[in-house]
A and B are shown apart, each in its own frame.
Chain A
Amino acid sequence: MNPAKTIGERLAEAGVSRRAFLKFCTALASMMALPPAAGPAMAQAIATRERPSVIWLPFQECTGCTESITRSHTPTLESLIFDLVSLDYQETLMAAAGHQAEAVLAAAMKENFGKYLLIVDGSVPLVEDGAYSCTAGRSNLALLKEAAQGAAAIICVGTCSSYGGIPRAAPNPTQAVPVSAVVKDRPIVNVPGCPPIPVVITGVLAHYLTFGNLPELDPLGRPKAFYGETIHDRCYRRPFYDQGRFAKTFDDEGARSGWCLYELGCKGPVTYNACATLKWNAGTSFPIQSGHGCLGCSEPDFWDRGSFYRPLAAADWGSAKTVGAAAAAGVALGAAAAWAARRRQDRFVKEAAAPADRKPEG
């Protein structure tokens, strides 16, 4: 039996109706903040595309990123998108092992040279020629350099491959670096988070499948669709922040009343991620909803930015004393937020209309 060439054929094989697929694309478009008309357009575009080969290399990491995506509730959009691509190599998930697995990797890289998507989780240690992290006797460093050559683009999943993450934390004994420090001549998308939200990973894949290019990125290489706003921008405790009502300890009146966690060290104001809207565990909750401040895990060097429990310094962010002004402007906030959402959409309308080849910024 020939494996399905296009995604449309693959859908038919899997018994997924076009209605189900349209729904899938509508939901994806919604999560990616694309205009509603993009849903049907995506369904059209994706169905006729060839299934791209995806090679996933785990480097200096804890497997949490893979856990994030595989433990997401099923059946989901996430599982569907991984069914649509051709995931040719993923050490943790594949049945093959040893020489057989390495042969699969070599074959996939050769057959799809210049076309495959390379997903990397984990940082790359440089000390002793990268000897601190090896697969099949080869250093991550050597493997990354080789695999990057034939990659159409590289998606860095997690804070480690994006910015170095915890392996890079001081004193960084292995001299861990992000992928972008090793590979300079390939488009790179950073999907940071420790771990990242599963649907953000698949959202980037879906964008690539639809438009054949990478999503618009911010100066830190992150897709603006998911990392365009801070946790604080979308936090449901924001009304308390605006009123200047803060929990002072984890068991005081304020904490029990669900007040803002700013003074308990919340890093939400300086953390760009989608946790406050997409949430975790099938949309159940996110750290702030569970009573703990945001750690800022998707930001570079989050581990070395001082205590998780010390309030953000005024130098990093306006002090809590300036909050009164925000409270006064509270009424206007809703309108401003709506305006921001609208503006974001307009940008994507243009993008959907003219999907130019885009190189990531920065």
Chain B
Amino acid sequence: MQDEVFPLRFERAPAAVLTGNARPVLAEVAALAERFAESGAGGAVDLAAMPLSPADVDWLRGTLGRGEVSAVIEAAGASSVEETAFAGVWWVTHRNPLGEVVAELIEVAAVPAIIAAAREDAAAGAARLAAIVAAPAAEALA
């Protein structure tokens, strides 16, 4: 019934179209992977820097496939890190606490930067741990 009142007939959603921009991105990832394999220097490609349609992103994701490691980091929203079928090439998605994607990158590295613990956080953690160790035994067990 609703359709008769205001028939919306969207043609071929532009989102479903491959723009041709995904291949250059893949070439850039390939170049980074090669460099990383040779010298250990990685890098990243920001997927928002290219005008990619959802279809382009799906194509990239499908082409890169899935590898051995995946991790979720709960820091101001969930970030997911998934190794692709190509070791050292990671698909990194940052979400805010509402679950919206705030950044999406393909990172080429041994381990994506977001996973490593920072020295500043480690210092705060060490101090807290030391306080527990120093506390009287009964308290520590409680």
Contacts and interface: CB of A to CB of B under 8 A. Distances in A.
Contact of B45 (A17, A36, A76, A334): A36
A282 B100 contact: yes
Interface in A256-290: 256-258, 277, 282-283
Interface in B55-74: 73
Interface in B85-112: 94, 96-98, 100, 102-103, 105, 107
A294 B17 CA distance: 24
A334 B21 contact: yes
Contacts of B8: 256
B18 to A, nearest CB: 9
B24 interface: yes
Interface in A29-81: 29-31, 33, 35-37, 39-40, 47, 73, 75-77, 80
A282 B77 CA distance: 15
A37 B43 contact: yes
B103 A338 contact: no
Contacts of A341: 49-51
Contact of B15 (A22, A37, A80, A236): A236
A17 B100 contact: no
A18 B76 contact: no
Contacts of B9: 256-257
A282 B19 contact: no
A24 interface: yes
Nearest to A284: B100
Nearest to B107: A36
B94 A19 contact: no
Nearest to A337: B51
Contacts of B105: 26, 30, 36
A282 B17 CA distance: 24
Q: Identify whether the interface residues of A are mostly helix, strand, loop, or mixed.
A: helix
Interface in A288-341: 331, 334-335, 337-338, 341
Contact of A8 (B17, B21, B103, B120): B120
A16 B113 contact: no
Contacts of B43: 36-37
Interface in A2-38: 8, 12, 16-20, 22-24, 26-27, 29-31, 33, 35-37
B19 to A, nearest CB: 4
Nearest to B125: A17
A122 B141 CA distance: 60
B48 interface: yes
28 contacts: A8-B120, A12-B120, A17-B75, A19-B117, A19-B118, A22-B113, A22-B114, A23-B79, A23-B114, A26-B94, A26-B114, A27-B102, A30-B49, A30-B103, A33-B49, A35-B46, A36-B105, A239-B14, A256-B6, A256-B9, A257-B9, A257-B10, A258-B11, A277-B48, A331-B20, A334-B21, A335-B20, A335-B24
Interface of B: 6-11, 14-15, 17, 19-21, 24, 43-46, 48-51, 73, 75-77, 79, 94, 96-98, 100, 102-103, 105, 107, 113-114, 117-118, 120-121, 124
